[in-house]
A and B are shown apart, each in its own frame.
Chain A
Amino acid sequence: MSELGFWGFERPDGSVGIRNHVAILAVMDNVNGVVKHLAQLVKGTLPIPVWYGRGQFGADDVLYRRTQVGLAANPNIAAVLVISLERVSAEKVAAAIAESGKPVEHISVQDIGGSVEALAAGIRKLIPMVEAASAERAKFVPLSKLVLGVECGGTDTTSGIAANPALGYVADQVVASGGTVYLSETSEWMGAEQVLVKRAKTEAISAEIWAAVRRIEDSAVARGVDIRGANPVPDNIRGGITTIEEKSLGAIIKGGTTEIQGVLDYATPAEGKGLYVMDTAAPAAESMTGLAAGGAQIILFSTGQMNIMGNLIAPTVKVTGNPRTAERLRDNVDVDVSPMLQGETLEVAGRRLLEFTLSVASGRYTKAEILGEEDIAISRIEPTV
């Protein structure tokens, strides 16, 4: 068989984008209007509006900025126009993104003279960026250049039986080819840690996995509540998921079977290759934002009852093992692996999903992209002042 790979856009830092966006990034929520309007005015641009971003401090500010910069540095973005209300934050965020080597410009709305001037200046800065990005041609690169995020949402019991094993098959192929895989959603390791840690490369990594889950469990205890209802959520329970232990044991299968090379903080890129776990909130918006900010170019998203959401920057492939969902919510399904319930082998279903993944990595749009079911949400860990 020929070498596995995909057609992508090479970046100055050696990474490879599977899309070639010119992004317009809001540093804080008070400039979302300018960001959205600019994207309407200039063809070939991707608006990245945000919520919050002002008045944050300490660890919360560090997490927020790391995530925001990581999203803009994602290889799927060719160039970035940073918009902020004032100069200090605009320059700081732009400088951090520029470390990736990609073209970055910035505008301070206060300095430039308000919304109208910001739009005029923004259009002039975006013209050459879009010209350059549109002139780039994709090259065939090996699968080792892929960072794959695996996610689940709207889980039911078919997820652990069919969809997640298919995702795990692709994850194993990516790792075997020298690529990288991120498994996130920490609360969905709870009750499955004993299985997950068997594959930890070192004792220290094993201890980190236990500690990450413990932090969530301690938070449930501190609040005096049962997490059931928040996880599993009502649609999980309707789909046959009884406890968080059951959900987790099915969820971790999507990471495949290879050795775990490390535990990553939210929105932090891996320094090596292979399978990593990333400590994130479980809901799709926050988790996928962490994955994309950590450099994932694509996300495979298993679903049973269906969660329609995709990430704004990393194209998101919806995979279901539930034949009823595959039929009833077909407008949102990319790959149906429900034949696995009727005896289709993991090898056959997994190959189908791998081929689809490489197709999306080479430019094919996902349902979430076509339908605009794309967003981000940056995790917050402390109140704003």
Chain B
Amino acid sequence: MARVIVLDERDNVATAIGDIAPGESVESPSRSVVATETIPFGHKVALVSIADGGDILKYGESIGLARGDIAVGACVHTHNVESQRGRGDRGSAS
């Protein structure tokens, strides 16, 4: 059983404190999910499905928005999360 840390009860992602293999069961205080892909140590796994544009919640706060739908058990990182801050590339601040 892979261990993860959830920092706030509102969070929809958990942080892996060991490498998690695809198919491995991930136990968080609120729910158990199955990793659909490799979640490296320190990286985040989705505890629920998150729709495109939905808030990624960690520390009980938004750390960015989902880019595309994110499935339960998926790795949540730069490939599927958009920061909303310091985005000079978009031409305006949030």
Contact = CB atoms under 8 A, between A and B. Distances in A.
A156 B64 CA distance: 17
Interface stretch (A27-35, A106-114, A236-244, A307-315): A236-244
Contact of B63 (A194, A217, A249, A341): A249
Contacts of A242: 44, 56, 63-64, 76-78, 81, 83
A218 interface: yes
Interface residues of B, number: 34
B44 to A, nearest CB: 7
B42 interface: yes
B40 A240 contact: yes
Interface residues of A, number: 41
Given A221-B88, A228-B86, A240 B43 contact: yes
B93 A217 contact: yes
B30 interface: no
B43 A157 contact: yes
A190 B91 contact: no
Nearest to B40: A240
B26 to A, nearest CB: 15
Nearest to B82: A243
Contacts, number: 115
B86 A190 contact: yes
Contact of A243 (B85, B89, B90, B91): B85
A288 to B, nearest CB: 22
Contact of A224 (B5, B16, B83, B91): B91
Most central of B43, B44, B94 by chain A CB within 10 Å? B43
A244 B59 CA distance: 13
29 contacts: A161-B7, A187-B86, A190-B85, A190-B86, A217-B93, A220-B93, A221-B93, A224-B89, A226-B90, A227-B86, A228-B86, A240-B16, A240-B40, A240-B77, A242-B76, A243-B82, A243-B83, A243-B84, A243-B85, A245-B62, A245-B63, A246-B58, A246-B63, A249-B58, A250-B59, A322-B42, A324-B41, A341-B17, A342-B17
Interface of B: 5, 7, 15-17, 40-44, 56, 58-59, 61-64, 76-78, 81-94
Q: Which 8 A-B pairs have the closest CB atoms?
A: A227-B86, A240-B42, A220-B88, A243-B83, A246-B63, A226-B89, A243-B64, A240-B43
